[in-house]
Amino acid sequence: MTRVVLRRPGGVFGLAVLGLLVVGGVVSYWWTPFDPRAADPARAWLPPLREGHLLGTDRIGRDQFSQLLAGAGGTLVAAVASAAVAAVVGVALALAAVLAPRPLRASAVGLIDVLVAFPTLLLAMVLSAVYGSSLATVVAAIGIGFGVGVARVTRAELLSVLGSDYVLAARASGARTGRIVRRHLLPNVAPTLVVQLSLVMALAVLAEAALTYLGYGASPSSPSWGGMLHEQQAHLAARPLLVIWPGVAVAVTVLGCNLLGDALRDAGDPRAVAAR
Amino acid sequence: MTWYLVRRTGLLVLSLAAAGVLVFTLLRLLPGDVAATIGGLRAEPERLAAIRADLGLDRPLVEQYASWLAGVARGDLGRSQLNGSSVGAELGRKLQVTGPLAAGGVVVALVVAVPLGTWAALRSRTAVGTGISALAQVGVAVPTLWLGLVLVLVFSVRLGWLPAQGFPVDGWADPGAAARALVLPCVALGLTEGAVLLRFVRSAVVGVLHADHLRTARATGLTRGRALWRHGFRNAALPVVSVLGLQLAALLVGAVVVERVFALPGVGSMLVADVGNRDLVKVQGEVFLLVAVVLVIGFLVDVAHRLIDPRLREPR
């Protein structure tokens, strides 16, 4: 599977972007070229590549490259944590909707149907209204919101695996539900799940940028890509470049996640490639 | 079809009620006391009790929910907890901005997605087809809010053709000015949603092009374009209509962000402000309205699906 992913340009691009995000995000917790929060009014509005500031500085002299790196840290946490929450929510709901006793099963299906219609961004705003804005709120909202979508896809997949002969054979040989889930159901839905989660990561990056732009998410003092866009919007006419960087960062990250998801899908399903 | 409509309407009503419960309970979890917020830190206990009684907060939760739901059914979404203004009336005013914005976004998305998606499908193995697909892939990845900023940069700041932000104070009194204020927001919203839609249009048309009935149509002497026009589009429309329904929901939520970018006085800006103020009743009304619209769109899409596809109709 890895080899198939690496053979497609999209897969290589996706892996490279994610690799950059992970390295940049992790490194930013220990080191950035300048302190991303430190104001230096004497060096305000520096153009790129001046005095060691790779991407220049903003209105109060903060280094934009350092801010971008620190923002990558937040984006990385949001993307990975949201995907983890979505995986847990999605698999748990899907299993409940397939295996639980009848009344519980029906309510799980109903819950999925109603929650799917509940826009994730709205959920995030409601949760922010209730619990205050923080990265945790954003992750919870994105994870639950997209987790329901994952649950819907996973449920369909589980149903088809449940109907297969080898599950019947396992049942007939006396395997308990727990063993069937571990040995047959989860391994068989794993490829679909991985594809879904890479797409969830893309959506999470977009949602996190939108939410931090709106002022939810981590506190305004901690650098984020959405927050940078919000701050630089006021100076759009005079310093357009400062609006370009964070936007490109978001777009490239999302593109990478999406292309990786497509490559993973192709790797898991050779027929999809043939049908093109 | 009648039986289907009855069942589907029942499901819609149930989902609306469930969404209502969800919105209502989520917002009841709010830590802190609304009465204390309104009364101030030094309010006497009697005053706080009076405020709670006035807002109905002293009644059991189920009763509060029932009275809220009864109000919603009458079109009364309650009053702001901060200044007592009617939520429904304010939403009505804000919808005059958000409604046209979302509608314009759909139009832009369709105008971009349908012709380009079809073209990309017809030329699927050429540079043109690949180019369009790649462009759509990038379009999906670009955040709407950033696209909005870039559009402002190009068309307002550099070219000076359109206003960068804001909406006429007197609303639609000057239709020209109001429409001009909505052009860039609609394009920003429509392009990103259109990119998603384009990929579905393309794959739907590619699927139809390989279908047996289209090959038969070609064999009777129709050109590829004519065969597609007469026999293909109806089939290709099926998945696209479903996706368009989901897209409409995404569009409505995207409008929340776009309104902030362009400082438009719509439902989204209102919601963001009320979340900031923690004005419970207003947030509740706004979120419920948006979710209700999404559910109703889902309902309409399902019904439309039945109408387009005769195979789904029950045998009489």
**Is residue B174 a part of any domain in this protein?**
yes
Burial of B116 by CB count in 10 Å (0-12 exposed, 13-18 middle, 19+ buried)?
buried
What are B3-16's pLDDT values in tens digits? Answer: 888 888 888 888 88
Where is pLDDT greater, at B227 or A204? Answer: A204
Question: What gap in Å lies between CA B2 and CA B4, rounded to an integer?
Answer: 5
**Is residue B216 a part of any domain in this protein?**
yes
> How high is the pLDDT of residue A255?
92
Burial of B231 by CB count in 10 Å (0-12 exposed, 13-18 middle, 19+ buried)?
middle
- Above 50 in pLDDT, residue A274? no
Chain B interface test: which of A8, A68, A113, A125 (most B C-beta within 10 Å): A125
Question: What gap in Å lies between CA A116 and CA B7, rounded to an integer?
Answer: 19
Regarding whether B102 and B157 lie in a shared domain, the answer is yes
A214 vs B: CB within 8 A: yes
A48 vs B: CB within 8 A: no
Domain boundary among the residues B19, B47, B76 is at: B76
- Above 70 in pLDDT, residue B130? yes
Q: How many CB pairs under 8 A join A and B?
A: 131
Regarding whether B274 and B153 lie in a shared domain, the answer is yes
Angle of CA points B183, B186, B189, to nearest 5° = 150
Chain A interface test: which of B21, B149, B165 (most A C-beta within 10 Å): B149
Regarding whether B116 and B67 lie in a shared domain, the answer is no
> How high is the pLDDT of residue A271?
56
Report all structural domains of chain A as residue ranges with CATH numbers, in order of start.
Answer: 2-275 (1.10.3720.10)
Write the residue in A129, A229, A259 that is nearest to B146 by C-beta.
Answer: A229
Q: Which region among B9-13, B122-126, B176-180 has the lowest average model confidence (pLDDT)? A: B176-180
Question: What gap in Å lies between CA B43 and CA B33, rounded to an integer?
Answer: 12
Provide the pLDDT confidence category of residue A276 given band limits of 50, 70 and 90: very low
Interface of A with B in 228-257 (CB under 8 A): 229, 233, 236-237, 240, 243-244, 246-247, 250-252, 254-255
Regarding whether B102 and B47 lie in a shared domain, the answer is no
User: Are A117 and B295 within 8 A, CB to CB?
Assistant: yes
What are A60-81's pLDDT values in tens digits? Answer: 778 888 888 888 888 898 899 9
Write the residue in A117, A130, A229 that is nearest to B291 by C-beta.
Answer: A117
Provide the pLDDT confidence category of residue A138 given band limits of 50, 70 and 90: confident
Contacts of B133 (CB under 8 A, 6+ apart): B120, B199, B202
Residues of chain B contacting A213 with CB distance shorter than 8 Å: 145, 257, 260
Domain that holds residue B146: 88-313
Where is pLDDT greater, at A92 or B64? Answer: A92
Regarding whether B49 and B193 lie in a shared domain, the answer is no
> How high is the pLDDT of residue A86?
95
Domain boundary among the residues B76, B96, B112 is at: B76
For chain A, what percent of residues have pLDDT higher than 70?
Answer: 95
Regarding whether B196 and B51 lie in a shared domain, the answer is no
Regarding whether B108 and B38 lie in a shared domain, the answer is no
- Answer whether A35's CB lies under 8 Å from A43's CB: no
**Is residue B18 a part of any domain in this protein?**
no
Regarding whether B282 and B135 lie in a shared domain, the answer is yes
Provide the pLDDT confidence category of residue A208 given band limits of 50, 70 and 90: confident
- Above 50 in pLDDT, residue A161? yes
Task: Tell me the nearest-neighbour CA distance from A189 into chain B, angstroms.
Answer: 24
Regarding whether B304 and B229 lie in a shared domain, the answer is yes
Averaged pLDDT for residues A176-189: 87
- Answer whether A214's CB lies under 8 Å from B110's CB: no
> How high is the pLDDT of residue A178?
86
**ipTM of the predicted structure?**
0.84
Tokens read off for A237: 């006419």
Contacts of B49 (CB under 8 A, 6+ apart): B35, B58
Interface of B with A in 207-266 (CB under 8 A): 249-250, 252-253, 256-257, 260-261
Write the residue in A126, A209, A276 that is nearest to B143 by C-beta.
Answer: A209
**Is residue B221 a part of any domain in this protein?**
yes
**Is residue B44 a part of any domain in this protein?**
yes
What are A210-243's pLDDT values in tens digits? Answer: 888 888 776 667 788 888 888 888 887 778 888 8
What are B48-90's pLDDT values in tens digits? Answer: 788 777 777 777 778 888 888 887 777 777 777 777 778 788 8
Write the residue in A236, A244, A258 that is nearest to B152 by C-beta.
Answer: A236
Regarding whether B177 and B110 lie in a shared domain, the answer is yes
Averaged pLDDT for residues A202-215: 87
- Please name the helix (run of DSSP H) or strand (run of DSSP E) that holds residue A235, with its range, or none: none
**What CATH number should be reported for the domain holding residue B129?**
1.10.3720.10
> How high is the pLDDT of residue A82?
93
**Is residue B40 a part of any domain in this protein?**
yes
User: Are A254 and B141 within 8 A, CB to CB?
Assistant: yes
Regarding whether B281 and B240 lie in a shared domain, the answer is yes
> How high is the pLDDT of residue B140?
86
Q: How many CB atoms lie within 10 A of CB A236?
A: 19
Averaged pLDDT for residues B99-120: 89
> How high is the pLDDT of residue B300?
86
Instruction: Give the chain A residue nearest B121 (alpha carbons).
Output: A276
For residue A99, CA distances in Å to A35, A96, A164 come to 52, 5, 15
Q: Is A50 helix (H, G, I), strand (E, B) or coil?
A: strand
Provide the pLDDT confidence category of residue B32 given band limits of 50, 70 and 90: low
- Above 70 in pLDDT, residue B182? yes
Domain boundary among the residues B76, B110, B135 is at: B76
- Give chain B's domain count: 2
User: Are B140 and A254 within 8 A, CB to CB?
Assistant: yes
Write the residue in B140, B157, B249 that is nearest to A236 by C-beta.
Answer: B157
- Above 80 in pLDDT, residue B166? no
User: Are A251 and B29 within 8 A, CB to CB?
Assistant: no
Regarding whether B104 and B212 lie in a shared domain, the answer is yes
**Is residue B231 a part of any domain in this protein?**
yes
Residues of chain B contacting A130 with CB distance shorter than 8 Å: 26-27, 29-31
**Is residue B83 a part of any domain in this protein?**
no
